[in-house]
Chains A and B, each alone.
Chain A
Amino acid sequence: MFRRLLPLFALLLMAVPATAQDRVLNVYNWSDYIDPEVVARFTRETGIRVRYDVYDSLETLEGRLSAGRSGYDIVVPTSEPTFARLVRAGALRPVDRAAVPNWTNLNPTLMQRVATIDPGNRHGAIYLWGTVGLGIRLDRVRAALGDVPLDNLDILLKPENAARLAACGIMLMDSPTDVLPSVLRWLGRDPNSSATDDMRAAERALMAIRPHVRAIIASSSILDALATGEACVALTYSGDVIQAAARAREAGRGVEVGYVMPREGAQLWFDMMAIPADAPNPEAAQQFINFLLQPDVMAAITNQVRYPNAVPASQPLVNEAVRNDPNVFPSAEALSRSFVAGTPPREAVRLRTRLWSRFKAGR
Chain B
Amino acid sequence: MKGRLAVLLPVWAWLLVFVAAPAAILLAIALAEADSGVPPFRLAWSLTGFATLAEDRYYLDAVLTALRIAAMTATGCLLIAYPMAMGIARAAPGRRMLLLALLMLPFWTGFLLRVGAWIGLLRDQGWINGMLMALGITEAPLPLLYSEGAMLVGMVHSYLPFAVLPLFAALLRLDPTLGEAAADLGAGPATAFVTVTLPVTAPAAAAGFLLVFIPAAGEFVIPELMGPPEAQLVGRVLWQEFFQNHDWPVAAALALALLLLLLVPIRLFQRLEARP
Contact = CB atoms under 8 A, between A and B. Distances in A.
On whether the two chains bind one another, the answer is: yes
Binding site secondary structure of chain B = loop
Contacts of A120: none
A360 B230 contact: yes
A354 B247 CA distance: 13
B125 interface: yes
Given A68-B39, A214-B143, A362-B230, A350 B125 contact: no
B125 A230 contact: yes
A319 interface: no
Interface in B228-256: 228-230, 232, 237, 239-240, 242-247
Nearest to A358: B58
A165 to B, nearest CB: 13
Interface in A206-250: 213-217, 221, 228-230
B219 interface: no
Interface string A244-286: 0000000001000000000000000000000001000000000
B145 to A, nearest CB: 8
Contacts of A89: 36-38, 40
A97 B245 CA distance: 33
Nearest to A225: B123
B237 to A, nearest CB: 8
A357 B65 CA distance: 14
A175 B116 CA distance: 22
Interface stretch (A18-26, A58-66, A143-151): A58-66
Given A62-B243, A350-B245, A228 B40 contact: no
Contacts of B123: 228, 230
A277 B39 CA distance: 13
Nearest to A62: B243
A361 B232 contact: yes
Contacts of B40: 66, 89
Contacts, number: 78
Interface in B204-232: 224-225, 228-230, 232
A149 B229 CA distance: 29
A360 B232 contact: yes
Contacts of B116: 1
A363 B230 CA distance: 9
A89 B37 CA distance: 4
B232 A357 contact: yes
B229 A216 contact: yes
Contacts of B148: none
Interface residues of B, number: 32
Contacts of B240: 353, 357
A349 interface: yes
A67 interface: yes
Contacts of A90: 37-38
B79 interface: no
Contact of A66 (B124, B125, B246): B246
Nearest to B40: A66
A183 B56 CA distance: 26
A68 B239 CA distance: 19
A228 B225 CA distance: 16
Interface in A45-98: 59-60, 62-63, 65-68, 85, 88-91
A122 to B, nearest CB: 17
B104 interface: no
Interface string A337-350: 00000000010011
A-B pairs with lowest CB-CB distance, top 9: A59-B243, A216-B229, A360-B229, A89-B36, A215-B146, A362-B230, A68-B38, A361-B230, A91-B38
Interface of A: 1, 59-60, 62-63, 65-68, 85, 88-91, 167, 169, 175-176, 213-217, 221, 228-230, 253, 277, 346, 349-350, 353-354, 357, 360-363
Given A88-B36, A216-B229, A360-B229, 14 more contacts: A59-B244, A62-B246, A67-B39, A91-B37, A91-B38, A214-B143, A228-B123, A229-B124, A230-B125, A349-B246, A353-B240, A354-B58, A361-B61, A362-B230
16 contacts: A59-B239, A62-B243, A68-B38, A89-B36, A89-B40, A91-B37, A175-B244, A213-B229, A215-B228, A216-B229, A229-B124, A230-B125, A350-B245, A357-B232, A360-B230, A363-B230
